Amino acid sequence: DLGPARTPTHPVATAPVNGPLFSVDGFVKEFIHELNTAQGVALARSSVNDQYLALARTVKNYLMARWLDTNRKTREAKVKTVGYLSAEYLLGRQLGNALLASDLNEIADKGLELCGLDLVTLRNQEVEPGLGNGGLGRLAACFIDSLATMNVPCIGYGIRYEYGIFRQTFVDGRQVEQPDTWLALGSPWEFPHPDASVQVNFGGHTEKYRDADGKERTHWLPDWNVLGVPYNYMVPGYLNGRVNTLRLWSAQATKAFDLPTFNAGDYAQAVRAQTFAENISKVLYPEDSTPQGKELRLQQQYFFVACSLRDFIDNELEDDFDLHHLDERIILQLNDTHPVIAVPELMRILMDEKGFDWDEAWAVTTKCFAYTCHTLLPEALEVWPTELLGRLLPRHLEIIYAINEQLLEEVREAYPGDELRARRMSIIAEFPERGVRMAYLATYAATKVNGVAALHSQLLRDKVLPDFSEMWPDRFTNVTNGVTPRRFVKMANPKLSELISDTIGGGWVTDLERLRELEPFADDPDFRAQFAAAKDWNKRRLAEVLRKRDGIDLPDGHLLDVMVKRLHEYKRQSLKLLHVVSLYEQVISGKLPVDQLTPRTVVFGAKAAPGYKMAKDTIHLINRVAATVSADPRLEGRLKVAFPANYNVTLAEKLIPAADLSEQISLAGMEASGTGNMKFALNGALTIGTDDGANVEIRELVGDKHFFLFGMNEPQVAELGAKGYNPESYYEDNPQLKAALDLVLSGHFSGGDQHLFDAVVYNLLNSDRFMALADFQSYVDAQARVEERYADTDAWTRSAVLNVARSGFFSSDRSMREYIQRIWHTQPMM
Ligand code: 9GP
């Protein structure tokens, strides 16, 4: 008996209990059973890991019936499904979310207590699946959470990397990467289905032949293949009984691949072959926003989309389904260009395997895809060399050429004589080498193309794809990103959640705009006091985490100033660092009396791509500054810099709720959206930020007075770039900036070594592609306004409350609603 499915808007406290697990006794029985049978240990002899695994399985068992039920109902209803194609899912820990979604927290807590165990300890045992780099992968995880909660059929398709994003450690302040062995202690959340494996082909050549009707057809004769093994994960909706599926593919060698070698007696070579095949899903590429055009990465991309399309067509549709109507059953969302090879793959399936002619296949394909672009950095838009693509996927390259011919024909027809335009719009780039512009291919094939914040979508139209948006203006749209309030408020910030629910009821968890009802309470001193108390509690919790995890002491009573995101020059961690160095320099040189310094702790969290030297040098410099500043007695403990290693979702869930100030300081026009910015605002931090990405919308919504804006806007950046930007002139003209940079150059942070940080400093002085020096003074001025507001506790808390109350727009539920209405045209199931 599944019991009645509850509507998500019900407050948790009044929810009826249902099912056998919904009693403490039932829960304990199941837990002990799992411990005994799956782990093979008695409670008295079990390790924390045994206990965690048994608990995870207990919760999973509870969700299991709902999952099967969801699958059955969805299949029977034959409704349209969202096929979210993403190379990354940055899931974060699963247990807490599963407990929340199934309303088992209290029962688990009590049940474990009866066993003499502590839920928090068991939760902390989980190693998060870090199958993503940053914002793009985390967004995918938020989106699938929202779709499940909104009762919308969705299958998330991706790759089960054996090693996710590397574990960052610091050695003498420098980043050292360690492999992320997230599977080592067991992976209770996944269901492998080797029986449902899919074969994926690579290499070889194509041949033409005539079919029975005399039509010319093409045949791909690949020369190697691998198996894709699906691993299913549950994606539970919040208190609604729906459990969607995330299907991640793992690569294995096929028999065909290694048997001939093995039979020939070369055992070692056969094993090497196996390793070669399994390499495909071995490791997540750690580049964020700037992909490396590596062969293995293209293999990964094709591997997972080929598996996913095959899986959907063969396993999710009825045997006799007419693929001419494929768009009635699936919309494939391309998360950035990584899965775009799915476009020629679907064409290939329809033409070469299902006998469609070109026009039929194209008509279906163009209805089945939509494309989201997540970047503006030109170097982040993937272009695959035709040499590589043709070697790995010869049939796909032929199809891409044919698609391009058709595109160019359309362009020439629409703009006769404009050969330059045709060349600009060609999917095939000629320089610096012949390559396939995956963003153009996606744009041409998709029903809709969207950016991820209003400004970004505008710039996408105007600067990245201007010819396409001129030719097909209706194809372009914007959906501003969002984040799931379940994980990032309800779960991460229990005290604030309690206060909100006590004040306006629990409906906000699935209807985040209701946070607006908090607005009047910004003027209620009692409410403000409780709000501030929740923030203090979060700070104490963070202090405990950082002490245990990193040996970092977080001082009491400081403004907690947080910059957490990937280390990238465009995000400008160097600008934040210059501000810190400048404050420090002013105190030690006597320009600023130490008692006039606002007590402040600056926390950085950032991983750098292992091959990104400037980013790694910046990390090194931050760590050196942190060590020097935090230890200097002249600051009397009023300024501290902390850089906990290995920032990840788990740490974010502790850091973000504790923050007072959110640093969103990218050069305007560079950050597509940002999603950290939303999480901070929703947790009552005030933002200091540029007019970039979703900051623009955050500021509009929370109000100018409650957001610290600084720096050039995008047109000003463009103008300065066009005029010729000379960073050194800012250094020469601004004594405060000069003093800060000179202090770095003096060797003060590097034990007297005056050249250790030359690369960072001279890059700023001579090139500064992201114009940190140009925005320095404006940033420092805005920080002064921050300090002024912070000194007035009531005014600060009032602004913080208003940030929460006015940020309901940034729920990923709202993003999903917009995708559904404007892009996917799918329906929630009743
Ligand atoms: O850099 C963007 C970030 O601004 C955005 O919030 C995120 C989700 O849309 O995507 C990031 N883009 C990438 O990681 C690569 O395009």
What's the gap in Å between 435 CA and the centre of ligand 1?
23
CATH number for the domain spanning 179: value is: 3.40.50.2000
In this structure, the residues whose C-beta lies within 6 A of any atom of ligand 1 are 134-136, 139, 288-289, 336, 374-375, 380, 452, 481, 671-675, 693
Catalytic residue among 297, 348, 486, 571: 571
Please identify, by atom number, the ligand 1 atom nearest to the C-alpha of residue 672. 4
Please identify, by atom number, the ligand 1 atom nearest to the C-alpha of residue 380. 16
Q: Can 679 be counted among the known catalytic residues?
A: yes
Residue 514 inside a domain? The answer is no
Q: Can 548 be counted among the known catalytic residues?
A: no
Q: Which residue do the tokens 């050969």 mark? A: 419
What's the gap in Å between 679 CA and the centre of ligand 1?
15
Residue nearest to atom 10 of ligand 1 (CA): 136
**The pLDDT value given to residue 258:** 57
Percent share of the chain, pLDDT over 70: 96
Question: Which structural domain, as residue segments, surrounds residue 588?
Answer: 555-808
Residue nearest to atom 12 of ligand 1 (CA): 374
* Number of Cβ atoms within 10 Å of the Cβ of 282: 15
What contacts 690, CB < 8 A, 6 or more positions away?
Answer: 664, 665, 666, 667, 668, 709, 710, 711, 712, 713, 775
Catalytic residue among 160, 565, 748, 798: 565
Average pLDDT value for the chain: 95
Please identify, by atom number, the ligand 1 atom nearest to the C-alpha of residue 134. 14
Please identify, by atom number, the ligand 1 atom nearest to the C-alpha of residue 289. 15
Catalytic residue among 160, 247, 297, 374: 374
Distance CA 540, CA 555 (A): 10
* Number of Cβ atoms within 10 Å of the Cβ of 177: 16
Note whether 801 and 778 are same-domain residues.
Answer: yes
505-528 residue pLDDT tens: 999 999 999 999 999 999 999 999
Helices assigned H by DSSP within 291-376:
295-311, 342-348, 358-368
Note whether 783 and 691 are same-domain residues.
Answer: yes
Note whether 456 and 565 are same-domain residues.
Answer: no
Note whether 273 and 339 are same-domain residues.
Answer: yes
Task: Indicate the pairing of strand 167-171 with strand 174-178.
Answer: antiparallel
Q: Can 571 be counted among the known catalytic residues?
A: yes
What's the gap in Å between 21 CA and the centre of ligand 1?
40
Catalytic residue among 57, 535, 566, 814: 566
What's the gap in Å between 777 CA and the centre of ligand 1?
27
For ligand 1, mutation pick of 86, 88, 136 (most atoms within 8 Å of CB): 136
163-177 residue pLDDT tens: 999 999 999 999 999
What's the gap in Å between 711 CA and the centre of ligand 1?
21
Whether the Cβ atoms of residue 562 and residue 762 lie closer than 8 Å to each other = no
227-244 residue pLDDT tens: 999 999 999 999 999 999
**The pLDDT value given to residue 273:** 73
Note whether 568 and 423 are same-domain residues.
Answer: no
Residue 618 inside a domain? The answer is yes
Residue nearest to atom 15 of ligand 1 (CA): 289
572-597 residue pLDDT tens: 999 999 999 999 999 999 999 999 99
Please identify, by atom number, the ligand 1 atom nearest to the C-alpha of residue 135. 7
- Taking 70 as the threshold, does the pLDDT of residue 259 lie above it? no
Question: How many structural domains does the chain have?
Answer: 3
Please identify, by atom number, the ligand 1 atom nearest to the C-alpha of residue 671. 4
Distance CA 694, CA 707 (A): 13
Percent share of the chain, pLDDT over 90: 93
For ligand 1, mutation pick of 90, 131, 289 (most atoms within 8 Å of CB): 289
Residue 29 inside a domain? The answer is yes
> Beta strands of 397-458 (E only): which ranges?
428-429, 435-437, 449-451
What's the gap in Å between 666 CA and the centre of ligand 1?
13
Distance CA 172, CA 368 (A): 51
Distance CA 30, CA 54 (A): 9
Q: What angle do CA 698, 289, 819 make, to 5 degrees?
A: 50
**The pLDDT value given to residue 267:** 76
Please identify, by atom number, the ligand 1 atom nearest to the C-alpha of residue 481. 9
Note whether 414 and 305 are same-domain residues.
Answer: yes
For ligand 1, mutation pick of 131, 452, 488 (most atoms within 8 Å of CB): 452
H or E element: which one contains 720?
helix 714-723
Q: Tell me if residue 218 falls in helix, strand or coil.
A: strand
456-487 residue pLDDT tens: 999 999 999 999 999 999 999 999 999 999 99
Residue 338 inside a domain? The answer is yes
For ligand 1, mutation pick of 84, 290, 336, 375 (most atoms within 8 Å of CB): 375
Distance CA 729, CA 720 (A): 13
What's the gap in Å between 569 CA and the centre of ligand 1?
14
Mean pLDDT, range 435-443, rounded to an integer: 98
Note whether 117 and 240 are same-domain residues.
Answer: no
Residue 500 inside a domain? The answer is no
What's the gap in Å between 263 CA and the centre of ligand 1?
48
**The pLDDT value given to residue 524:** 98
Helices assigned H by DSSP within 16-115:
24-37, 48-77, 95-101, 105-114
Give the lowest-confidence range in 6-20, 259-273, 534-548, 609-623. 6-20
**The pLDDT value given to residue 12:** 30
Note whether 104 and 168 are same-domain residues.
Answer: no
Question: How much is the ipTM here?
Answer: 0.99
Residue 370 inside a domain? The answer is yes
Which residues make beta-bridge pairs with 217?
209
Here the tokens at position 488 are: 């990032």
* Number of Cβ atoms within 10 Å of the Cβ of 723: 8
Residue nearest to atom 13 of ligand 1 (CA): 289
Residue 507 inside a domain? The answer is no
Whole-angstrom Cα Rg for the chain: 27
Q: Which amino acid is at 514?
A: R
Residue 561 inside a domain? The answer is yes
Burial class of residue 669, CB neighbours in 10 A (0-12, 13-18, 19+): buried
Note whether 345 and 418 are same-domain residues.
Answer: yes
Residue nearest to atom 8 of ligand 1 (CA): 136
Question: What confidence tier does 19 reach under pLDDT thresholds 50, 70, 90?
Answer: low
Distance CA 383, CA 293 (A): 8
Task: Indicate the pairing of strand 243-253 with strand 154-159.
Answer: parallel
Please identify, by atom number, the ligand 1 atom nearest to the C-alpha of residue 674. 6
Catalytic residue among 679, 706, 748, 806: 679
Question: What confidence tier does 379 reach under pLDDT thresholds 50, 70, 90?
Answer: confident
For ligand 1, mutation pick of 89, 374, 481 (most atoms within 8 Å of CB): 374
What's the gap in Å between 289 CA and the centre of ligand 1?
7
Q: Tell me if residue 394 falls in helix, strand or coil.
A: helix
Note whether 779 and 686 are same-domain residues.
Answer: yes
Whether the Cβ atoms of residue 490 and residue 100 lie closer than 8 Å to each other = yes
Note whether 562 and 473 are same-domain residues.
Answer: no
What's the gap in Å between 159 CA and the centre of ligand 1?
19
What's the gap in Å between 571 CA and the centre of ligand 1?
12
Please identify, by atom number, the ligand 1 atom nearest to the C-alpha of residue 336. 16
* Number of Cβ atoms within 10 Å of the Cβ of 614: 15
Q: Can 60 be counted among the known catalytic residues?
A: no
Note whether 671 and 697 are same-domain residues.
Answer: yes
What's the gap in Å between 63 CA and the centre of ligand 1?
32
- Taking 70 as the threshold, does the pLDDT of residue 256 lie above it? no
For ligand 1, mutation pick of 89, 564, 673, 818 (most atoms within 8 Å of CB): 673
- Taking 50 as the threshold, does the pLDDT of residue 9 lie above it? no
Q: What is the dihedral of CA 707, 711, 714, 715, to 10 degrees?
A: 120
